[in-house]
Amino acid sequence: MKSCLIAAAAATIPTLVLAVPTGEKQYFFDTIPASSELIWYPCNQTYECARLSVPLNPLEPNNGLRSEIPIIKRPADKSDEYKGIILTNPGGPGGLGIPFIFASGDEIANFTGPGWDIIGFDPRGMGYSKPHGALGWLGIPPVSPDLQNATYIPPNQQKRAIRADHYGIKIAPRPDAWIESLYEASAEFNELLQAHGNADNQAVPYMTTPNVAFDMLQIAKADARLKGKSDDDVLVNYYGVSYGSVVGQTFTSLYPQHVGRFVIDSVVDLEDWYKAEVGSTLQHTDEGVSTFFTSCFDAGPEKCSFFTGHTSGAIRDRHNNLWANFDLTRAIQEGWGNVTDVAAGQDVMKNILLYVPYSALLNFPAYADTLTTVEALVKANNATAENMIEIGTLWTGPEDPTDPFRAENPFETWCSDSNNPRMVGSDLPIPQEFIDIVHNSSVSSGERFVQVYALCSRLKLRPKWRFSGKVGGDTKTPVLFIGLSKDPITPYENAEKARTLHKGAKMIYVEAVGHGIIGQRNWCVYDKVRAYFQDLTLPGHDNRCPQGDIPFQYIPQAHHKKRDGKDVVAYHRNMVRMHSAFGAM
């Protein structure tokens, strides 16, 4: 199985969850978008404001109707030890929380003492709330009808708003026949796995993630015994990234009393993982890829080989034009003479692009070189399957089944974890709705999940232990989560959610197009993680890290070798191979 940009100016991005505003700009409730997680915007100089979207009717939380709660924070003084937030209400009914903080926030802070954020919010239907009540201040005239209606978000989109134009990136989906060919290509592997996994093999029933969490506990217990200590109340310390966040959160949920220092980086939504729901994971994928255009433009022609024109839009257009040569659906429909080459080229290009936003810092320069090389091949009418596969090999290295560091197939774990009979072991094709969701979510790499679940859908393994408990809990030690602002596969919103599910947990928000902090060269986040592992220091208000090194400015020289006059991406080979072979994370 094989598979796997920018809106030039970020002028009119209506997304709810853009990276939060830094710098001088001040916001107020007329410009702060609603969001189902708290996102604080600098407001009125010394305050921070947010607009939280909650169900309009708490008794019917999923009917799509939402209420927007305006919230203001008078932040605790940064020099004091941070204690948390204190919500306030000024009285009434009818008293507004926002002006209350403007008027009395300092005084409240004086009597609550240092370390507390003082929070005010307008009650339902009042002040800057939406929807607003009918009559407002004594009712004459009635409040404008525009303000009286709730926000409506279709239930399946409540979590993430995905931009329909994919940031201007135009990449054709693979043809429907591709999904059929996936089944065929995987049939043999699938039958083998099913036959052996269900027959004599004694590992497969025990390869779900809860088993891995159990093993971590056994390791720590054995270590305690080795050191002559009781293993009853042993604490496990842990750093896990990506799927490692599935392991980490499964552990914290199963064994909260054994949680020691836990850093969980680039967080999967655990509930979605066990339900095989994936649409939400792709929230920032195209957004991250689209920054290639601005990064390349900012870098200039010296540093970015794919540079062109006078705006980043010109680079985006050049990118779209190049990708149009690999539109297999069109090639088939229009009877192009090069269908075989286009098919191979589309696969290679998609596999590379799948991996590019995993680290803008490491991958953007190499991606620019790849695009330039491929464009020259197309122009020379020489983008043959053979030449394109060679380009792919520059990213993955040659296939080497004896490589001891090769990743293993993920399906015994992934498919067994998924507790969704429609998606796993159903013997039915993947639901069309699933395919539509991944296509709608990301043109650059949504299809990765079709690859995974095409295999799962016909695989009937019989795991003995599937996780079905409640996620999170009251852990012995507070957990530290990390989210990157434009992560292509685990949106930072997942880290925010995980934080709320774990008592006392904190989250670090890192500005980066990437997945995981390793390789990001972001000393800010490394300092914070170190402080946590050293002294259990948790970030409070200072939980944001700006971008570290800038793509194209930092060139990963050490990893960049020349081979046959071509640039070779020699780092992370196994990662690239794992992604392109399995769509894994």
Ligand X SMILES: *[C@@H]1O[C@H](CO)[C@@H](O)[C@H](O)[C@H]1NC(C)=O
Q: Is residue 451 within 8 Å of residue 475, measured between CB atoms?
A: no
- Which neighbouring-strand residues pair with 207? none
Q: Is residue 472 within 8 Å of residue 455, measured between CB atoms?
A: no
Q: Which is nearer to ligand X, 104 or 387 (CB)?
A: 387
Give the separation between CA 471 and CA 479, rounded to whole angstroms.
13
Q: Which is nearer to ligand X, 231 or 317 (CB)?
A: 317
- Least distance (Å) from ligand X to the CB of residue 283? 13
158 part of the interface to ligand X, by CB under 6 A: no
- Least distance (Å) from ligand X to the CB of residue 378? 5
Question: What number of other Cβ atoms are within 10 A of residue 3's Cβ?
Answer: 24
Q: Which is nearer to ligand X, 530 or 566 (CB)?
A: 566
Of the residues 169, 216, 234, 383, which one makes contact with ligand X according to CB under 6 A: 383
Q: Is residue 439 within 8 Å of residue 447, measured between CB atoms?
A: yes
Closest residue by Cα to residue 205 from 189, 216, 194, 190:
194
Q: Which is nearer to ligand X, 218 or 340 (CB)?
A: 340
Of the residues 48, 68, 286, 341, which one makes contact with ligand X according to CB under 6 A: 341
- Least distance (Å) from ligand X to the CB of residue 340? 10
Cα Dmax for the chain: 80
- Least distance (Å) from ligand X to the CB of residue 47? 8
Stretch that binds ligand X, among 8-16, 133-141, 291-299, 380-388 (CB under 6 A): 380-388
Q: Which is nearer to ligand X, 242 or 441 (CB)?
A: 441
Site residues for ligand X, 397-456, by CB under 6 A, read 433, 436-437, 440
- Least distance (Å) from ligand X to the CB of residue 121? 16
What residue ranges in 35-184 does DSSP mark as E strands? 41-43, 47-55, 65-74, 84-87, 116-121, 151-152
- Which neighbouring-strand residues pair with 121? 71
203-213: b (≥16 Cβ within 10 Å) or e: ebbbbbbbbbb
The dihedrals phi and psi of 511, each to the nearest 5 degrees, come to: -80, 110
Closest residue by Cα to residue 365 from 307, 442, 427, 290:
307
- Could you give the string, one character per residue 343-362, with x where binding to ligand X holds by CB under 6 A and - elsewhere? --x-----------------
Site residues for ligand X, 48-77, by CB under 6 A, read none
Site residues for ligand X, 86-115, by CB under 6 A, read 102, 110, 113-114
Question: What number of other Cβ atoms are within 10 A of residue 58's Cβ?
Answer: 8
325 part of the interface to ligand X, by CB under 6 A: yes
Of the residues 104, 194, 308, 387, which one makes contact with ligand X according to CB under 6 A: 387
- Least distance (Å) from ligand X to the CB of residue 379? 9
Of the residues 15, 44, 198, 409, which one makes contact with ligand X according to CB under 6 A: 44
Of the residues 189, 214, 239, 336, which one makes contact with ligand X according to CB under 6 A: 336
Closest residue by Cα to residue 263 from 249, 253, 274, 277:
249
Q: Which is nearer to ligand X, 114 or 139 (CB)?
A: 114
Question: For residue 389, which amino acid is it?
Answer: I
Give the separation between CA 207 and CA 413, rounded to whole angstroms.
5
Q: Which is nearer to ligand X, 345 or 488 (CB)?
A: 345
Going by C-beta distance under 8 Å and a sequence separation of 6 or more, which residues neighbour residue 16?
Answer: 33, 34, 35, 160, 161
- Least distance (Å) from ligand X to the CB of residue 394? 13
Q: Which is nearer to ligand X, 155 or 546 (CB)?
A: 155
Q: To the nearest 10°, report the CA torsion of 551, 554, 557, 562.
A: 40
Of the residues 7, 118, 322, 378, which one makes contact with ligand X according to CB under 6 A: 378
Q: Which is nearer to ligand X, 302 or 334 (CB)?
A: 334
Of the residues 342, 349, 455, 479, which one makes contact with ligand X according to CB under 6 A: 342
Q: Is residue 362 within 8 Å of residue 518, measured between CB atoms?
A: no
Q: Is 34 exposed, middle or buried (0-12, 13-18, 19+ CB in 10 A)?
A: buried
Q: Which is nearer to ligand X, 386 or 403 (CB)?
A: 386
Q: Which is nearer to ligand X, 78 or 470 (CB)?
A: 78
Element (H, E) at 259: strand 259-265
Site residues for ligand X, 202-221, by CB under 6 A, read none
380 part of the interface to ligand X, by CB under 6 A: yes
| Residue 569, helix vs strand vs coil | strand
Strand 560-563 and strand 566-569: the pairing is antiparallel
Question: What number of other Cβ atoms are within 10 A of residue 372's Cβ?
Answer: 17
Stretch that binds ligand X, among 62-70, 238-246, 334-342, 557-565 (CB under 6 A): 334-342
- Which neighbouring-strand residues pair with 87? 119
Q: Which is nearer to ligand X, 347 or 412 (CB)?
A: 347
Q: Is residue 516 within 8 Å of residue 264, measured between CB atoms?
A: no
Tokens (6 digits) for 30: 């007329």
- Least distance (Å) from ligand X to the CB of residue 164? 6
Q: How many residues contact ligand X, by CB under 6 A?
A: 27
Which chain residues interact with ligand X by CB under 6 A?
26, 28, 44, 102, 110, 113-114, 145-146, 149, 164, 325-326, 336, 338, 341-342, 345, 378, 380, 382-383, 387, 433, 436-437, 440
